[in-house]
Amino acid sequence: MTLGEETQLDAAVLETVVEGCPDAFVALDRGGTVLVWNAAATRLLGWRAEDVLGRPAPHLDVYEPTIPDSGSATAVRRHRDGRRLLLSRERVVTLTGSEGAPIGWGEFLRPPPTGDHRLARRNDLSLALAEALRIDEVNAALQTAVGPLLGADRALLLRHQGDSVAGYLAVGAAQKDAEEVRVDVDLPSGPPGDWGPLVGHLAVGREPARPTVFLPAGPREEGWILALAFADETLTEEADLELATALASETWLAVKRADLILELEGRVEILEATAAISLAAGLDLERLLEAVCASAAEALSCERAAIYLREPDGHGRLRLAHLHGGSLAGFGSDGSRGAAWLLDEGTQITVQPGEDLPHLDGPWSPDEGVVALLAQPLRVGDLQLGVLLAAHTVARPRGFTPLCRKVAEAVGRQASPAIANARLFAGERQAVRHLSELEQLKEDYISGIIHDLKSPLTGLLGFVSTLRRLDVLSTPEERREYLDIMDRQARRLAGLVEDLLVGARMEAGRLQPDETSEVALGELVRDVLASLAPDRRVRAQLTVDGDDRVCADRLQLERLVQNLVDNALHHSAEPSAVEVAVQRDGDEVVLAVRDHGAGIPAGSQAELFTRFARGTRRRGSTGLGLWIVRGIVEAHGGTVGVQSQPGKGATFAARLPAMSEQH
């Protein structure tokens, strides 16, 4: 602990006196370097002598080269653990060199007296601020101390911006109103560090203005101010102003530390959330959506999260894709109406505690416990995929912070392309599966059609061979019967070939009426039924009502009627008859064919008129009949549909444009 040759004090004597002193003694040169640090200083301030000797003084917030006023009874000094201690200063001494010029100074410090409750409370506040890791903890420490310590009933940390201030932190009930601060004081144009405490008035919200002391806080270039508002008179004692000034610096440091911790935690949350999404960003859409919602809820400390997706074209109806933190059965709706409204805004939206939640329903309604909400659009380029919603159902004083909004943006950026890729893969996989099924159906149909083409040919060839052996035919009746059978087989073969030809034209998109003429639809149906008369299975009833003339391709209409009647005969239980009705309905002529079969399930009706529809093919047919019916009707500008109830048969109705009077 040698001071050097320039000091007039004997080093050995100094060491003995200083080390034996019960008070902490610290000596500094004029540059702020530690010259002396005794054992009591280690006990009081935490640093060891070997850690500080020859280095800048660690216990001073700001070193001032001037020697402190020896008449000041207190001093604020920093502890190694970060606390600011308000200590009793017993004495200040000046160190001089051999020429008698001052080379530094020293001070004797001790804890405040046990009975000095104000100093003890000040040190408790310093410890609380040093340990505070959250803005709310800083707030709580101030709230419990500014009144007993200084007699103030409100404290606001403000930022000086030119000729105005902006609220940052408030104590107690004023917390949510910090941005509604009105200041009545002549604030200098320079940063607060260039001026000392100022007295003026401050009002928050609609409250009346109160006498207020404005104190610089933190580095002067950042412009922070601690405002202490009082019910009556402000601080006037120098010791109180010194204490308040130290409190301002400590408060600023605590707030900046809490913000830094929050920022670092947010970065960690962003990394964890995006990493979780990356790990789950496979091609399984359901697993991906579950991972995104869970990661967002955890990173934002939310109790509820969900993703709503548009249909793949990016312009369709919004639907709930995944809900995290609840069962949809417990809500009145799925919330898609409110989600669509939020997505239409086009940007991130936050609804903080106390603000209205308009247009929101289902899981996002205030009636379902939502107190704050964040909506993050999901998009890839100009394509809107949907929206991510997250909600607090437990009140949090600060709601969604700017850091929360950054986290949500990061989650959205990571999740959007992953969702787009997963949806694309799901669509491709479904298309491949559909093509595979269609290919299998085609193979089955081709195999069956070949078999059905061979059957009538085999029958025809057999009867031709029989007719050649005329000696076998004993009577004209037997000959007629064989010819009837051959006729039916030939017609059956012709029908199969015609279906295949019409189907090929439909597949190529070339099915149009070849030659149109005036056709009386009722008469055409009667001719078709008559041609089927040799078949003993055919029992049909025809009714015609009104003008049934249409302008159409007669051959194609015959194919249409044959397919509808053939379909009805197949599904009718013998000996019931097929009912065919032709009637005028406004500008249309309706052909209705009714059977008395088992009926068609509602879930299967939409597929009846599609190519290779399941269950439509049977032995002796191509299975393309109803698909061809639809193609012929649509080629003539009409429509076709079916009405059916289980156990009551089915009615197929083809509507064709009626022939106008001008024709």
Tell me, yes or no, whether 142 lies in a domain: yes
Which DSSP symbol is given to 556?
A: H
Place of tokens 């017609």: 491
Q: Is the pLDDT of residue 26 over 90?
A: yes
DSSP string, 369-412: T--EEEEEEEEETTEEEEEEEEEESS--TT-S-HHHHHHHHHHH
CA torsion 174→176→178→184, rounded to 10°?
-50
Q: In terms of domains, do 295 and 396 share one?
A: yes
Q: In terms of domains, do 256 and 295 share one?
A: no
* Nearest residue to 139 via CA among 169, 177, 180: 169
Where does the pLDDT of residue 428 fall: very low under 50, low under 70, confident under 90, or very high at 90 and above? confident
Tell me, yes or no, whether 454 lies in a domain: no
Amino acid identity for residue 320 in this structure: L
pLDDT of the residue at 420: 86
Average pLDDT over residues 278-303: 80
Of 263, 298, 329, the position where a domain reaches its end is 263
Tell me, yes or no, whether 132 lies in a domain: yes
Amino acid identity for residue 653 in this structure: A
Q: In terms of domains, do 575 and 632 share one?
A: yes
- Supply the CATH number for residue 57's domain: 3.30.450.20
- Which two three-digit tokens encode residue 580? 């065919």
DSSP string, 14-38: HHHHHHH-SSEEEEEETTSBEEEE-
Tell me, yes or no, whether 223 lies in a domain: yes
The tally of domains found in the chain comes to: 4
pLDDT tens figures, 141-191: 877 778 777 888 888 888 776 666 666 654 433 444 445 667 777 777 666
Tell me, yes or no, whether 462 lies in a domain: no
Q: Is the pLDDT of residue 656 over 90?
A: yes
Q: In terms of domains, do 214 and 337 share one?
A: no
pLDDT of the residue at 477: 76
Q: In terms of domains, do 67 and 168 share one?
A: no
**447-461: buried (b, 16+ CB within 10 Å) or exposed (e) per residue?**
ebbeebbebbeebbe
d(CA 157, CA 565): 88
Of 52, 84, 111, the position where a domain reaches its end is 111
d(CA 304, CA 326): 7
Where does the pLDDT of residue 2 fall: very low under 50, low under 70, confident under 90, or very high at 90 and above? very low
pLDDT tens figures, 528-572: 888 776 555 557 789 999 999 999 999 889 989 988 988 888 877
Three-state DSSP state, 592: strand
Of 229, 263, 297, the position where a domain reaches its end is 263
pLDDT of the residue at 636: 92
Tell me, yes or no, whether 485 lies in a domain: no
- Supply the CATH number for residue 399's domain: 3.30.450.40
Contact 413, 278 (CB under 8 A): no
Least confident of 65-69, 245-249, 326-330, 545-549: 65-69
Average pLDDT over residues 607-627: 63
> Which stretch of DSSP H or E encloses residue 345?
none
Q: In terms of domains, do 541 and 622 share one?
A: yes
Q: In terms of domains, do 253 and 306 share one?
A: no
Q: In terms of domains, do 588 and 570 share one?
A: yes
150 by Cβ neighbours in 10 Å (0-12 / 13-18 / 19+) ranks as buried
d(CA 226, CA 253): 12
pLDDT tens figures, 317-338: 888 999 998 777 778 788 888 8
Average pLDDT over residues 447-458: 67
Average pLDDT over residues 79-98: 82
- Supply the CATH number for residue 640's domain: 3.30.565.10
Tell me, yes or no, whether 447 lies in a domain: no
Three-state DSSP state, 139: helix
Tell me, yes or no, whether 606 lies in a domain: yes
Question: Which strand ranges, in their side-by-side order, compose the sheet holding 349-351?
Answer: 319-324, 304-309, 383-392, 372-380, 349-351
Which phi and psi (to 5°) does residue 122 adopt?
Answer: -60, -45
pLDDT of the residue at 1: 38
The CB density around residue 141, as the number of other CB atoms within 10 Å, is: 23
Range of the domain at 638: 511-657
Q: In terms of domains, do 48 and 179 share one?
A: no
Q: Is the pLDDT of residue 596 over 60?
A: yes
Contact 26, 59 (CB under 8 A): yes
pLDDT of the residue at 449: 66
* Nearest residue to 253 via CA among 75, 76, 389, 99: 76
Q: In terms of domains, do 137 and 35 share one?
A: no
Contact 549, 521 (CB under 8 A): yes
Q: In terms of domains, do 562 and 644 share one?
A: yes
Q: In terms of domains, do 101 and 125 share one?
A: no
